[in-house]
């Protein structure tokens, strides 16, 4: 039986002292390999996200290792499955720190990060590029070991509201959100954004994490007839709701944020996805005019030739490149603190066309939002605005 949230956090805090003892004996200087730990959803309804982040990280590390590593050290990824469940993320984080990983990278999700990040922060283990836009990870003073790549959920939702109102004249907004810390973070952002635009939020509907139980939510959404529905959830329940909505002739503009997982959502929806918008926080994964995307495609083909390029694995690749750049800037045999300081104090980190910038009070590297739309063939298009192209 799952423990309550208060019990979960008592368990988290109880691990801190234990972890601190472990870290006193950690040595990295002179090691042939630097191991990075990842706790992510490799199974369950959100598995496409964890698997995508993992394969992107592996693609980056493999290319770097073929080039001799960083200062002669190979980069190794140790991934554990948390199935998008907070208690599993706690256990995995404890295990990975016990294994003496240099840093944690590529975590997937707000509820899992909310559970695991305090352990890493107290232990002084870098927590790099989590796949979440939650605001709590963007407090650089309280979480000095956290470095984000992606824009925040609020920035994505603000971009959505701007496009809906400016391009389509939408006035009535609804939201479907996952009833956990991720979904509630999105709900808070939507409430804040609609208030800034002086619009009503006409309906709030929710569903439970790791389920596709959205029938009641769909009925709740239909009643006030919103013109647009913002979805803050995972790809399977999002697709289930949109498919049922189509069959009930309920066709508002559906817009999802990046965490939903664009490629997985497209596969689930097929032709029912026509007209669905998804905000992204990394470039289009087939835009080889950007050098880093061309390099990502080559690296992906080398480690997983059966996989098509996608937004999630591209984000994982960028996370791997960021790790490598931090190690390069820090010099041979860096401590964890030196690694973090090297990234924070760099003027601009240019990952071959994808630029990141950190600072003493800013642990988020990118503010970029990209808008995409699905067509009737289940393919994504990069678009500049909503409406007829």
> Hey, what are 312's tokens?
């999630």
Task: Kindly state whether residues 245 and 309 are assigned to the same domain.
Answer: no
Domain presence at residue 223:
yes
Which residues, including other chains, have CB under 8 Å from residue 141's CB and lie 6 or more apart? 361
| Residue with tokens 């423990």, as numbered in its chain | 3
The string of pLDDT tens digits covering residues 326-366 is 999 999 999 999 999 999 999 999 999 999 999 989 999 99
* Angstrom distance (rounded) from CA 53 to CA 61: 12
Could you tell me which of 221, 258, 214, 263 has the C-alpha nearest to residue 238?
214
Total domains, the chain: 2
pTM of the model: 0.90
What average pLDDT does the chain have? 92
Q: Is residue 110 part of a domain?
A: yes
d(CA 85, CA 88): 6
Same domain, 178 and 113: no
Residues 180 and 229: beta-carbon distance below 8 Å: no
Q: How much is the average pLDDT of 231-251? A: 95
Same domain assignment for residues 272 and 312: no
- At 79-137, the pLDDT tens digits run 999 999 999 999 999 999 999 999 999 999 999 999 999 999 999 999 999 999 999 99
Domain span at residue 179 reads 153-280+370-383
Q: 118: closest CA among 210, 17, 3, 264?
A: 17
Is residue 339 a contact partner of residue 126, using CB atoms and an 8 Å limit? yes
Regarding whether 270 and 375 lie in a shared domain, the answer is: yes
CATH number of the domain to which 253 belongs: 3.40.50.2300
Closest C-alpha to 48, from 160, 131, 127, 146: 131
* Same domain? 175 vs 315: no
Same domain assignment for residues 145 and 293 = yes
Residues 244 and 329 in one domain: no
| Residue 125 tokens, joined | 């283990």
**DSSP code for 306:** T
Characterize 221-256 residue by residue with b for buried, 16 or more Cβ atoms within 10 angstroms of its Cβ, and e for exposed: bbeeebebbbbbbbbbbbbbbbebbbeeebebbbbb
Q: Is the pLDDT of residue 261 over 50?
A: yes
Same-domain pairing of 251 and 338: no
Residue 15 confidence (pLDDT) = 46
In this structure, the answer to whether residues 129 and 22 fall within a common structural domain is yes
Tell whether 296 and 238 lie within a shared domain: no
Domain membership of residue 389 (yes or no) is no
Give the sign of the dihedral formed by CA 83, CA 84, CA 89, CA 95.
positive
Give the confidence band of 262 by pLDDT, cuts at 50, 70, 90: confident
Question: What radius of gyration, in Å, describes the C-alpha atoms of the chain?
Answer: 20
């Amino acid at each position: 039986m799952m423990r309550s949230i208060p019990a979960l956090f008592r368990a988290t805090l109880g691990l801190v002292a234990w972890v601190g003892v472990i870290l006193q004996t950690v040595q990295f200087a002179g090691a042939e390999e630097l191991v990075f730990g990842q706790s992510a959803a490799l199974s369950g309804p959100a598995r496409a996200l964890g698997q995508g982040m993992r394969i992107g990280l592996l693609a980056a590390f493999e290319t770097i290792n073929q080039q001799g590593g960083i200062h002669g050290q190979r980069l190794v990824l140790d991934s554990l499955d948390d199935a998008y469940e907070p208690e599993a993320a706690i256990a995995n984080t404890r295990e990975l720190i016990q294994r003496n990983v240099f840093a944690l990278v590529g975590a997937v999700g707000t509820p899992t990060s909310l559970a695991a990040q305090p352990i890493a922060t107290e232990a002084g283990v870098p927590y790099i590029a989590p796949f979440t836009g939650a605001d709590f990870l963007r407090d650089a003073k309280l979480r000095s070991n956290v470095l984000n790549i992606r824009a925040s959920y609020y920035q994505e939702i603000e971009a959505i509201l701007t496009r809906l109102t400016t391009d389509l004249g939408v006035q009535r907004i609804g939201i479907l959100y996952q009833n956990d810390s991720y979904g509630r973070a999105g709900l808070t952002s939507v409430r804040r954004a609609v208030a800034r635009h002086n619009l009503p939020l006409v309906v709030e509907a929710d569903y439970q994490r790791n389920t596709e139980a959205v029938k009641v939510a769909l009925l709740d959404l239909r009643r006030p007839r919103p013109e647009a529905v913002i979805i803050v959830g995972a790809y399977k329940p999002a697709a289930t709701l949109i498919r049922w909505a189509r069959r009930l002739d309920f066709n508002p503009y559906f817009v999802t944020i990046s965490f939903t997982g664009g490629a997985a959502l497209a596969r689930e929806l097929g032709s029912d996805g026509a007209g669905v918008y998804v905000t992204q926080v990394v470039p289009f994964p087939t835009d080889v005019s950007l050098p880093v995307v061309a390099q990502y495609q080559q690296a992906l083909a080398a480690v997983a030739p059966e996989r098509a390029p996608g937004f999630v694995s591209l984000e994982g690749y960028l996370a791997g490149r960021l790790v490598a750049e931090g190690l390069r800037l820090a010099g041979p045999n860096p401590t964890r603190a030196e690694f973090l300081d090297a990234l924070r104090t760099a003027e601009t980190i240019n990952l071959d066309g994808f630029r990141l910038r950190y600072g003493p009070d800013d642990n988020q590297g990118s503010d970029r939002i990209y808008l995409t739309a699905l067509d009737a063939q289940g393919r994504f298009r990069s678009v500049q605005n909503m409406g007829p192209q």
